[in-house]
Structure formats: structure tokens, C-alpha cells
């Protein structure tokens, strides 16, 4: 597991890897960094940072190869610019990264452009892929869509989700799947905004986000034909789901801000076994923002918490299936 963190006083964002016993620094850090991180098929950590230049800030996509950081931005900005003629913003923010088993990296987000007859900039969603040598656009991007999340399944297949902020009905959700023939929107009338996604071993897709209108959190499952609601009732102050993770057996864990899930008491983290929800011990005392499983099935959580399972935990914790453990400095 790798994490981005700031050290007091040095104004840098640092990355570190836990080797099972201690933290190992990955380089010397960046001025900004890491809203999205993903480990690719070769074991490299990919993330994005913002860089400053005379032309303003722009996105750089970086990869840790085990010894050093490599800038793989390449022609990313040019590829993304080509999606919309007349694009004027020099800032190309990346909001999501994903990797498939074939070594392809996917980057998605939104940027701003001017259209004829308009005096204000509007959002434009895009998804581009990196094959290890060059970037390529997947289709023509998404008009009027902010991309929030990406997920990949079989080689060449990807999902993108986000919101359409300028529809006649106001904001609405958006989710589409990519195959070699192009993008296909899933359930075009779906109003809910999907903020995070995770695939299970069978290729089914778990999604979480906010319900249109009520603003309540939800978790749904897409079996590639139908939607099933897994959790439609989260309790607590401003309940929200921030991340999903699925293990090799297909068990789903959710992290966020909540006190219970579908009537099951659970503090900010919970697991779905395919039939019912379970708390993981006594949970976390504060919000959980990120989750990941390792190859042994241990679950790692990061967030604002200082206690997990009623034990001191400094924003990082590991669940081994029976209890919580701190990841000591």
C-alpha cells in the first residue's frame, strides 16, 4: 500500500510504501499531489501532481518504478486538447486513475473550454489511455460531463462515471462503459451521481455516490444487465461513501462518514458479504477516505481517524479479518 502525506514544515507531499514492517519513502516528495493513485500491472505506483510554469499550472502524471519517479505525462495535454477545438484552459486536472491487467493506464477528469456563442467556460469530461509508450483518447470525451471515477475490467474495457451539471433538470448522474467500438452510456435516465466504483471478480460493478434530490448516500451493484441496491440507507450526520474496495472473494468494503448501513451499526467502515452488512470491529472514530486490499486479503484504510477498533491509529490502519492493527512509523 502506498500513501500520500504531508510532513509539517517542509511544504511537500510525500509518498511512502508499507513493506509489512516499516514505511519506505518513495523519493523526496512533490509540491502537490495525489488525489488519485493506482498500482499498475507491473507494480508501479501512478499518481498525478500539479506543476507550475510560465503558462500556468498543469497536470503531470508520475509513475514510481520501484527506484525513481518517472514523468509519463508525454503528450497527454496535447491528446486531451484535441478532444475539443478551441479549448482555452491550460490546467488539465485529473480526478481519476485506473489500470488494467494488460498494463494500460487510464486517466479521467474534466477541463474547461469555450464554445461558440458562449461567454463562460463549461466542463468537459475526458478519458485517455497510456500503453507504456503513448497516450490515446478513448472516443471523443464526454460533453457536459465531469468525470469523477474510473474502473477497468477485462483488457480494453473501462467504466467512467460522473455528473452532468447542465441538464434541463439540473445536475444528473452519468456512467458509461468503453469497449473497442466506443462508449456506451449505461441507464441514461439514472439521476444519481456516482462518485466511486469497484469491480468484483466476476466483472460486476459496485458503485456509490449521492442520491439525486435527497442527497443520501447509496451503494448499488450492476451485473451488466440490471441494477440492485446493496445499501440505500446510511445513517449519521451528513452520511457519505468515499471509497469502495473488493477482495478476491468478491466481498465489498465501504469507507466514508456514517454510523450505520441499512440498519447495521457500523462506524465509518463496513463490509458486505453478498447477503448482509457487517461492522469491522468497532470501526473508526472519524471519516475513512481510502480503502485497498493486498494480495493476502488484508484491508488497509486511510482517513481522518485517530482511533480504529478503539485503539490508537494515526490515520492508517490494517484489518486482518479478525482485528485492527496500526501501521507504525
For the stretch 1-53, pLDDT in tens is: 445 555 555 556 778 888 888 888 888 878 776 678 898 888 889 998 877 65
Running DSSP on this structure, what letter comes out for residue 167?
A: E
Given pLDDT bands bounded at 50, 70 and 90, which one contains residue 254? very high
The span from the CA of 241 to the CA of 218, in Å, is 8
Q: What is the mean pLDDT of the chain?
A: 84
Q: What is the pLDDT of residue 137?
A: 85
Q: What is the pLDDT of residue 206?
A: 96
The span from the CA of 122 to the CA of 124, in Å, is 7
- Name the range with the highest mean pLDDT among 112-126, 135-149, 309-323: 309-323
The span from the CA of 293 to the CA of 18, in Å, is 13
Inter-residue contact 192 to 209 (CB < 8 Å): yes
Running DSSP on this structure, what letter comes out for residue 294?
A: -
Inter-residue contact 256 to 243 (CB < 8 Å): yes
> Which tops the pLDDT comparison, 81 or 247?
247
Q: What is the average per-residue pLDDT within 83-90?
A: 58
Nearest one of 188, 158, 151 to 172, comparing CA atoms: 188
Q: What is the pLDDT of residue 26?
A: 87
For the stretch 211-243, pLDDT in tens is: 887 778 999 999 989 999 999 899 998 999 999
The partner residues of 51 in beta bridges, in order of sequence, read 58
Strands 135-137 and 142-143: unpaired
* 125 grid coordinates: 469530461
Q: What is the pLDDT of residue 6?
A: 52
Is 244 a residue whose pLDDT tops 90?
yes
Percent of the chain exceeding pLDDT 90 equals: 44
Q: What is the average per-residue pLDDT within 94-119?
A: 77
From 117-126, 158-167, 266-275, 316-325, the region with the lowest mean pLDDT: 117-126
Q: What is the pLDDT of residue 1?
A: 44
Is 115 a residue whose pLDDT tops 70?
no
Q: What is the average per-residue pLDDT within 148-169?
A: 82
The span from the CA of 25 to the CA of 315, in Å, is 17
The structural domains of the chain, ordered by start, are 1-191 (2.120.10.10), 196-329 (2.120.10.30)
> Which tops the pLDDT comparison, 276 or 180?
276
φ, ψ dihedrals at 77, nearest 5°: -60, -40
pTM of the model: 0.88
Amino acid at each position: 500500500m502506498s500513501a500520500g502525506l504531508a510532513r509539517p514544515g517542509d511544504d511537500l507531499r510525500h509518498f511512502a510504501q508499507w513493506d509489512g514492517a516499516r514505511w519506505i519513502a518513495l523519493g523526496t516528495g512533490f509540491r502537490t499531489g495525489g488525489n488519485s493513485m493506482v498500482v499498475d500491472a507491473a507494480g508501479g505506483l501512478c499518481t498525478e501532481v500539479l506543476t507550475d510554469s510560465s503558462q500556468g499550472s498543469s497536470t503531470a502524471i508520475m509513475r514510481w518504478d520501484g527506484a525513481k519517479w518517472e514523468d509519463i505525462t508525454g503528450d497527454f495535454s496535447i491528446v486531451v486538447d484535441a478532444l475539443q477545438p478551441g479549448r482555452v484552459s491550460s490546467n488539465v486536472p485529473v480526478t481519476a486513475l485506473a489500470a488494467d491487467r494488460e498494463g494500460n493506464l487510464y486517466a479521467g477528469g474534466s477541463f474547461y473550454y469555450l464554445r461558440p456563442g458562449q461567454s463562460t467556460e463549461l466542463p468537459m469530461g475526458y478519458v485517455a489511455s497510456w500503453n507504456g509508450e503513448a497516450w490515446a483518447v478513448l472516443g471523443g470525451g464526454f460533453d457536459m460531463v465531469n468525470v469523477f471515477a474510473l474502473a477497468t475490467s477485462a483488457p480494453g474495457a473501462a467504466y467512467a462515471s460522473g455528473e452532468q451539471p447542465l441538464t434541463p433538470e439540473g445536475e444528473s448522474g452519468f456512467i458509461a462503459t468503453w469497449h473497442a467500438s466506443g462508449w456506451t452510456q449505461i441507464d441514461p435516465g439514472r439521476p444519481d451521481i456516482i462518485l466511486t466504483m469497484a469491480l468484483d471478480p466476476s466483472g460486476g460493478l459496485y458503485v456509490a455516490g449521492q442520491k439525486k434530490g435527497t442527497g443520501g448516500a447509496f451503494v448499488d451493484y450492476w451485473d451488466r444487465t440490471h441494477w440492485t441496491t446493496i445499501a440505500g440507507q446510511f445513517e449519521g450526520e451528513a452520511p457519505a461513501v468515499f471509497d469502495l474496495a473488493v477482495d478476491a472473494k468478491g466481498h465489498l468494503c465501504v469507507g466514508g462518514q456514517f454510523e450505520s448501513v441499512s440498519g447495521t451499526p457500523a462506524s465509518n467502515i463496513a463490509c458486505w458479504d453478498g447477503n448482509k452488512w457487517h461492522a469491522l470491529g468497532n470501526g473508526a472514530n472519524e471519516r475513512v477516505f481510502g480503502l485497498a486490499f493486498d494480495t493476502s486479503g488484508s484491508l488497509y484504510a486511510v482517513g481522518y481517524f485517530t482511533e480504529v477498533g478503539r485503539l490508537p491509529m494515526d490515520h492508517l490502519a490494517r484489518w486482518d479479518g479478525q482485528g485492527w492493527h496500526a501501521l507504525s512509523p
